[in-house]
Amino acid sequence: MKHDPSLPWYRQLHWQVLLAMVLGAVTGAVFGEPAAARLGWIGDLFMQLLRMIIVPLVLASIISGVASVGGGRALGRLFSKTLGYYLLSSLLAASVGLVMVNLIRPGVGA
């Protein structure tokens, strides 16, 4: 999304997000827990809609990316780099997890 300086300030996305955050904080401070309980369904609905759109969006992005690469060698090279990145990042995450669990020792003495 490009920034369009010709738009008035209240139509620019960053100001809309900031205003929504301020309004949410003020609403929470003024009305507290009862309002959150009554309006919680809106947040739940929003999260369900996000979850519903994620899979088709990711699938369309992957298909578009693979189609733009072309075929043959370029696709094979992309696949091997992707697989290598996935394996390397998984190995790094597992190693960090094992080191941290041995350093912190969660549950010991509980």
User: What percent of the chain stands above pLDDT 70?
Assistant: 97
Q: Do residues 19 and 52 both lie within one domain?
A: yes
DSSP 31-83: HHHHHHHHHHHHHHHHHHHHHHHHHHHHHHHHHHHHHHH-STHHHHHHHHHHH
From residue 58, alpha-carbon distances to 49, 53, 54 in Å are 15, 9, 6
Residues 38 and 92 in one domain: no
Convert the pLDDT of each residue in 37-66 to its tens digit: 888 899 899 999 999 999 999 999 989 988
Instruction: Please indicate, yes or no, whether residues 65 and 75 belong to a single structural domain of this protein.
Output: no
pLDDT attached to residue 5: 79
- 95 and 57 within one domain: no
> Is the domain of 57 the same as that of 77?
no
Interval 14-42: pLDDT, tens: 999 999 999 989 988 999 888 888 888 99
If one counts the domains in the chain, the total is 2
- 28 and 55 in a common domain: yes
Q: Which DSSP symbol is given to 9?
A: G
Domain with 5, as residue range(s), is: 1-69
Same domain, 48 and 12: yes
CB 36 within 8 A of CB 45: no
pLDDT for 1 equals 59
Tell me the pLDDT band of 103, cut-offs 50, 70 and 90. Answer: very high
Alpha-carbon span 77 to 72, nearest angstrom: 9
Q: Strand, helix or coil at 96?
A: helix
Give the pTM.
Answer: 0.50
